[in-house]
A and B are shown apart, each in its own frame.
Chain A
Amino acid sequence: MADAVTETRNTTCYMCACRCGIRVHLRNGEVRYIEGNPDHPLNQGVLCAKGSSGIMKQYSPARLTKPLMRKPGSERGAGQFVEVSWDEALATLAERLAKIRATDPKKFALFTGRDQMQALTGLFARQFGTPNYAAHGGFCSVNMAAGMIYTIGGSFWEFGGPDLDRAKLFVMIGTAEDHHSNPLKIAIAKFKRDGGRFISVNPIRTGYSAIADEWVPIKPGTDGALLLALIHEIIALGLYDREFLVRYTNSGQLVNMDDSNSEFGMFVRTEVPEEEGCFDPQNKLWWDRATNRPVVTHTEGADPFLFGEFKLSDGTLVKPGFQLLKERVEDYTPEWAAGITGIAADTIRRLAHEMGVTARDQKIELPIAWTDVWGKEHDTVTGNPVAFHAMRGLAAHSNGFQTIRALAILMTLLGTIDRPGGFRHKAPFPRPIPPCAKTPNTPLAIMPNSPLDGLALGWPGEPDDLFVDDDGKPVRIDKAFSWEYPLSVHGLMHNVITNAWRGDPYPIDTLMIFMANMAWNSTMNTVEVRKMLNDRGADGEYKIPFIVVCDAFQSEMTAYADLVLPDTTYLERHDVMSMLDRPISEFDGPVDAVRIPVVPPLGECRPFQEVLIELAGRLRLPAFVRPDGSRKFRDYPDFIVNYETEPGSGIGFLAGWRGKGGEKFMRGEPNPRQWEMYAKNNCVYHYKLPPSYQYMRNWNKGYLEWSQRNRIQRYAEPILIHLYSEVLQKFRLAAQGKGNSRKPPEHLRKGIETYFDPLPFYYEPLESQQVDTVKYPLNAVTQRPMAMYHSWDSQNAWLRQIHGHNHLFVNPLLARSHGIEDGGWMWVESPWGKVRCLCSYSEAVEPGTVWTWNAIGKISGAWNLGPGANESRQGFLLNHLIADELPGKGGGPRVPNSDPITGQAAWYDVRVRIYKAAADEPKETSPQFSPLPAAPGTRTKRPSWIAFFAGTGKAR
């Protein structure tokens, strides 16, 4: 095409939430080639399989192009729609929402899936006045966030990660593909090339684990036992980093051991701090070895006992936190863990030795001087080169929070927190423990026609922070921040539909879902939840009266909408990866990024951000209108430039090129040319901290003051690692009836007392505690395929060729013992449901586990696929087997299938059995659902072949 018009534009990928920089090449306005932007800090030019298939997403026939309303008289789920204009759609919605807002704002619930714009959606919900807002974190990996943030003030995921540039040993636990997809791949490969040793702990060996030097197959849900045994061994052999524990953690702090005291289990304090705030006041005690007396921590020249038992002058028995940890792990021997995890005791011991010895003997010393918060100057930054990474293999279990605490503590014992070769934070982390954001703690925060008085999501530090009413009942529809799951810091999206349907704690009116497939793969108990979405009360009205879905594609979820809002794709809209949300920071400093449209929106697609800003204007939400009620922001780009968290705060969505001329960063007046400057700079703003601010940030004076100056945090106080967690102890005390904080309702006391243990402990996942594990002897888990993002790539003509359907992978020994053939049809059954599927033998899976690729199976007709599509004929969804609630033990009340601390959905706890499918059964997966018709506005004629060649104008 000699005469073609070609151009190249930079933006940010969103084929997944990793957010790599891309360069999009256009030919005659059509996308010709998408390549990784070599100048982008995240992906450094590489691009994954999904990112390279963006063209097929852009031109997919499953794209919604028109606002749709459910056809009057048709059932939800049948997928019958009529087209409406945006005017009509917005008017209907605004009218409905205005009514709700004027009466009872909490009857509007806004939940968002795999998006990266929680700063805006959260702001909208808050301004609306509803507490019923959250994103996907609750069913995703909240355990990972909470377990580590409550321990070290940061976490894996978008918050921090392993420093593989300098590590010598890398231990990856329960990770298949990760959020940090490309950067992790880049880093692992480099690490291996540099001769690093890579150990993967995972019941399954695929992907990253494939290239591990050692594979440690573990039984799902038992990592807590492994980690505690490792801690046991490391303490027993003295392989811990004492200096680090003393100075940077609460190991040496004295805990009140007087169980008659209301302060039992709390650190002893010397005085009331002069200033209360969200930081740990340094008023705790050590027992000094030199003087054999209690002293205030970090007293110059003092060195605390880590072990022992002491009596204060008033007779109170006290012990250092570390002593309690040691007592805790006393019985957690490798032999004990071997029986639980299926890993030989010798292996566990060897792993502990390897970690300990590598950390101790291969110390890193960088010639970087820094000063700690206590004023001590250090000539060098040192590190112990053992890095860990973990994800949902730990998180997605009902014992995940405590397991992840154990991991964070193991990392701490090895002295690897924010040090070279270990774990490194990414701005704006570390946060104080717990972070400062709080939800309101009373339903009074919800008032008609006013913003919510507080944030919808926060970090409870004590029972009084819970968002409950005077009877201790939940205020939020998902029951987050209630006594059922007090630390549900990301909300519980997976409970919303069930709760709303049941009217527990109350019925709602309008449920708005953005970018989530809650009628399919992000829901547990799928078959029943689909019924709930379509269920009516005695009055003939839907139990969930109005459902709005904003999606870019015709999914299983859009079929249940009363109103469908067609969103743009990532190539068609502005977006921000904001410091107020989940930025894409690097170890060496804060990074945020933007998306800039490279092609015009298809049909009538409209960015959801624009819809929200429009709605906010119509509803006159204060942050979005001027005092006279007129609209404050022209559109989303205008909003991003001009919005400030408070008038004149200088803090907005983007940190780069602030100030009138773009000369400021982090803080500064709005810059009208901010978008242009991002566009010119690869759509990314990367602030590199000076080396002396790049490490030890929990205690780095320079860094903490820098971050205080730049309003990343309010205080420049040290963030000591919570080896021993007072926060948890506060909840336990409440459950024990001690202290004068709020107390849990009777039926939840026992649970709180058990699970809110200030030290990590191992318990069997809830489901295993409840079901007959003899009848259901196996664990079933899913993994992310690298070339497919959740449910949303089945419309992608290239990616679905790689994963058009899925098999259940079964160890041949296990399969043969059930007479199931390789490639044959079989059943997999849990106490909650059963699925017929194809079997594939695999030697790369622990024999007690079966697994499949996540979210490949689809409903016939969804994603605009034809009736013969393999996704619906041979593909299946494991979710049909996974319960959202478990029957209570011994006939007790039903309990959620979630971590009792954080509410994290326990996807990977499900217990199953398998058997061969009978020869006369249909050769297709079960269950099957009625096929969905193509929605109006999607391409109704499905091509029987395509030969894409950009620039011919034939793409659509």
Chain B
Amino acid sequence: MTQLALVIDLNVCVGCHACVTSCKQWNTSGAAGPLADFNPYDGDPTGTFFNRVQSFEVGEFPNTQTVHFPKSCLHCEDPPCVPVCPTGASYKRAEDGIVLVDYDKCIGCKYCAWACPYGAREIDESRKVMTKCTLCVDRIYDPALPERERKPACVLACPTSARLFGDIHDPDSAVSQAIRDNAGYALMPEWGTHPANHYLPRRKTQRHVHADELERADNPLKIDGLLPKPAKTEPSLDDVTSW
């Protein structure tokens, strides 16, 4: 069985929000749209987005890590948002594990949003139906697109390639490998939702310079004659012993 998902590499995400607006522009004019924006040109503008990037600070100065954290629907393998939906508008596709909303069925009761521990759903305040990340279903299978582009808009836009896309049930897929190789993890595992999306943690490259790397055979100061030499007048063994 296939479970499509995003794997987000926090090790390279710089918090640029490209995934946020590329998602918005793709989806607002796509199958999921239009996505409304309220007060677009006045106080507290607020609209429907499927993906948001947040920032966290870990630790205290000077040992601070700044973590940029993109979050969209995690396409849980056991999605609590689906069974609660009274209309069947929320569903998980058997063929690829994508969790979707059928906008024609949705009554806008918001129950599914309450049932999602991750806050991954947003009601569209204009159409009054629930919306969320669609994993860009209207791109990833589109035969009109070249193979390379059959990927979510956010994945293609991400300048750091921090967003990987693929089947996490296929052990040989790039996403599965990335999760395995880099200790990928799921959010709030305590609820048993088994999010399909995974995150790759920060990794730190360190370098230790060893003392012997500093005392160098190729030290140019030798050539330039500036390696410190004791003055010839300084005391030496020659002054006190003979053999």
Contact = CB atoms under 8 A, between A and B. Distances in A.
Contacts of A33: 25-26, 29, 153
A946 B61 contact: no
Interface in A178-223: 181-182, 185-186, 188-190, 192-193, 195-198, 205-211, 213, 215, 217
Given A169-B207, A804-B45, A207 B227 contact: no
Contact of A48 (B18, B61, B222): B18
Contacts of B202: 211
A870 B45 CA distance: 9
A195 B205 contact: yes
Interface string B181-205: 0000000000000000000001011
Nearest to A949: B34
A360 B218 CA distance: 9
A32 to B, nearest CB: 5
A444 interface: no
A167 to B, nearest CB: 12
B41 A210 contact: no
Given A238-B216, A795-B41, A949-B34, A52 B66 contact: no
Given A357-B214, A358-B207, A948 B159 contact: no
B84 interface: no
Interface string B27-62: 011000111111111111111010000010101111
A811 B209 contact: no
Interface in B128-168: 148-149, 153, 156-162
A872 B20 CA distance: 24
B42 A866 contact: yes
Which residue, B156, B157, B214, B216, has most C-beta atoms of chain A within 10 A?
A: B157
Contacts of A35: 22, 153, 156-157
Contact of B40 (A195, A870, A946): A946
Contacts of A51: 18
Interface in A144-185: 169, 181-182, 185
A188 B14 contact: yes
Nearest to B146: A38
Contacts of B242: none
A951 B214 contact: no
A208 B157 CA distance: 17
B12 A787 contact: no
A100 interface: no
Nearest to B19: A49
A55 interface: yes
B15 A210 contact: yes
Nearest to B127: A947
Contacts of A864: 41
B29 A842 contact: no
B43 A49 contact: no
B173 interface: no
A205 B21 contact: no
Contacts of B230: none
Interface residues of B, number: 75
A787 B53 CA distance: 11
A944 B39 contact: yes
A66 interface: no
Contacts of A443: none
B48 to A, nearest CB: 9
B66 A797 contact: no
B21 A211 contact: no
A237 interface: yes
Interface stretch (A69-77, A118-126, A750-758, A843-851): A843-851
A376 interface: no
A216 B219 CA distance: 28
Contacts of B160: 185-186, 188-189
A102 interface: no
Contacts of B121: none
A867 B41 CA distance: 9
A255 interface: no
Nearest to B13: A211
Contacts of A867: 42
A55 B43 contact: no
A800 B37 CA distance: 11
Which residue, B156, B207, B214, has most C-beta atoms of chain A within 10 A?
A: B207
Given A786-B17, A801-B37, A801-B47, A350 B204 contact: no
A242 B226 CA distance: 13
Given A802-B17, A804-B45, A949-B33, A45 B156 contact: yes
B64 interface: yes
A843 B57 contact: yes
B16 A48 contact: yes
A46 B157 contact: yes
Contacts of B222: 238
B2 interface: no
Given A210-B15, A811-B61, A947 B34 contact: yes
Nearest to B45: A801
B177 interface: no
B216 A360 contact: yes
A207 B14 contact: yes
A832 interface: no
Nearest to A38: B148
Contacts of A208: 14
Contacts of A714: none
Contacts of A795: 41
B12 A188 contact: yes
Contacts of A357: 209, 213-214
Contact of B159 (A48, A865, A947): A48
B223 interface: yes
A306 B224 CA distance: 6
A943 interface: yes
Given A210-B67, A357-B214, 4 more contacts: A47-B157, A48-B159, A844-B61, A945-B36
Give 9 nearest A-B pairs by CB, closest first.
A868-B43, A866-B42, A189-B160, A242-B220, A185-B159, A797-B40, A238-B221, A49-B17, A210-B66
Interface of B: 11-18, 20-22, 24-26, 28-29, 33-47, 49, 55, 57, 59-62, 64-68, 125-127, 148-149, 153, 156-162, 202, 204-207, 209, 213-214, 216, 218-227
Interface of A: 27, 32-36, 38, 43, 45-53, 55, 61-62, 169, 181-182, 185-186, 188-190, 192-193, 195-198, 205-211, 213, 215, 217, 237-240, 242, 289, 305-308, 350, 353-354, 356-358, 360-361, 786-787, 795, 797-802, 804, 811, 813, 842-847, 864-870, 873, 942-951
